[in-house]
Amino acid sequence: MSKNLQENTGIVHIFTSFNNTLVNLTDLSGHTIARVSGGMITKQDRLKANPTVAMFIAKKIAESANEIGMKNLYVRIRAKTGNTSPGPGAHAIIKSLSRESFKIISISDVTKIPRGGPKKKGGKRGRRV
């Protein structure tokens, strides 16, 4: 990647659950530039994961990115561990960022998948009947 492309490229980390939406904008080396959550936009708990609130979150992130001259974005979506789909605000954020004239290079789902499950009950020698 050329140096000019690296300077105006960032990563948008989106964490969505059915209770809240958290967005973190970083540069390519991982330094945080802006962090916005649903609670910073609205004080009503039932609206934190709303797609309308997610559009306002994306607008704040876009202002921060434009301030430092970012034009290209990688998007990483994460849901609660074990969930198959992200919360309702994820798609609204991506659509809003693309409307704000950002070039979205790639969208990846980085949701953690449980493997093996929790430890079985019973201790070292197993359950004694």
**Sequence ranges of the domains in the chain:** 12-109
The 3-state secondary structure of the chain, one letter per residue: CCHHHHHCEEEEEEEECCCCEEEEEEECCCCEEEEEEHHHHCCCHHHCCCHHHHHHHHHHHHHHHHHHCCCEEEEEEEECCCCCCCCCCHHHHHHHHHHCCCEEEEEEECCCCCCCCCCCCCCCCCCCC
CATH class of 12-109: alpha beta
pLDDT tens track, the chain, 129 positions: 556 666 789 999 999 998 999 999 999 999 999 999 999 999 888 888 899 999 999 999 999 999 999 999 999 999 988 887 888 889 999 999 999 989 999 999 999 988 888 877 888 888 787
